[in-house]
Structure 1
């Protein structure tokens, strides 16, 4: 009969532990949601810039420096590349990277950009072989010799 009382105590302990574990999980989830920029995962991770530009059908230009490239992937995949290059080479690099794309212009550019290229429609799709559904390039001239390029390629 002594074994029977011990079994009840174990069962009572298990029944009491389940709500406590559930409460701990809820507290953890609330804290993570409140303190993380990416509570469900998919935060940016550093990647080689060649990988980021290749996803958008491009290549890193000769003379690029100060390169920073990331990928975020959860429901969609989004690559971002930021680099500087000689200003005089921007036009040739864009023409080589996107030969069938629209001409670079100044409409629909990000704030502060001097030149941009958007390939995100049937009329102006990303280059052949790109893994991205859309590609945007924003160029900001930082002086007579230098340009800051922000390149993004993503699925939708």
Structure 2
């Protein structure tokens, strides 16, 4: 009897895993891949997720999205002057320095990773920022707060 229980326990995980894989494969064409369903959201919502009242002063051409499945990631993509970006970062996240080392292969000129301890009231636990510098002292910013 004990061997039967052990055998059932050993087989339960692979069977459950294969069932999940089959279910995902069968339902994906009908419901889409949940990891690729990026939804447009108001930028105020994206910024509030990281406890910011809105976009930084001087930001324009903003587009914001959310991706939620097992975790949540918002992206605020905007253009701002380098001076306004530096002032906002200094005010919102003191001590944050944009460096190339934090880019980890991302196509950017400078990046930062910010751990929020404690997490933001809005839900974010960390923020990734990547910046591409323009020729006219502008910066194109991807501000990405996330919870896992």
TM-score (norm 2): 0.68
Structure 1 gaps of 5+ residues are 1-25
1:53 aligns with 2:47: yes
Q: What is the aligned counterpart of 1:138 among 115, 124, 130?
A: 130
Matches within 5 A, 1:80-119: 80-99=75-94, 101-109=95-103, 110-119=105-114
- 2:61·2:79 contact (CA, 8 Å) conserved in 1? yes
**For the residues of structure 1 that align with 2:34 and 2:78, how far apart are their CA atoms?**
29
| Whole-angstrom distance in 1 between the partners of 2:45 and 2:147 | 15
The within-5 A match list for 1:1-150 is 30=26, 33-34=28-29, 38-40=32-34, 43-58=37-52, 59-99=54-94, 101-109=95-103, 110-120=105-115, 125=117, 129-150=121-142
Moved more, 48-57 or 38-47: 38-47
What is the alpha-carbon distance in structure 1 between the residues aligned to residue 90 and residue 79 of structure 2?
A: 17
> What per-residue deviation string (whole Å, max 9, x for no partner) do you get for residues 90-115 of structure 1?
1111111212x533322121533222
Total equivalences in the alignment: 123
Tell me how large the CA RMSD over aligned residues is.
2.8
Instruction: Compare CA radii of gyration and give the structure with the larger one.
Output: 1
Task: Summarize deviations over 1:73-132 as a string: whole Å, max 9, x none.
Answer: 121111111011122211111111212x53332212153322222113xxx647753521
Name the CA distance, whole Å, in 2 between partners of 1:66 and 1:87. 15
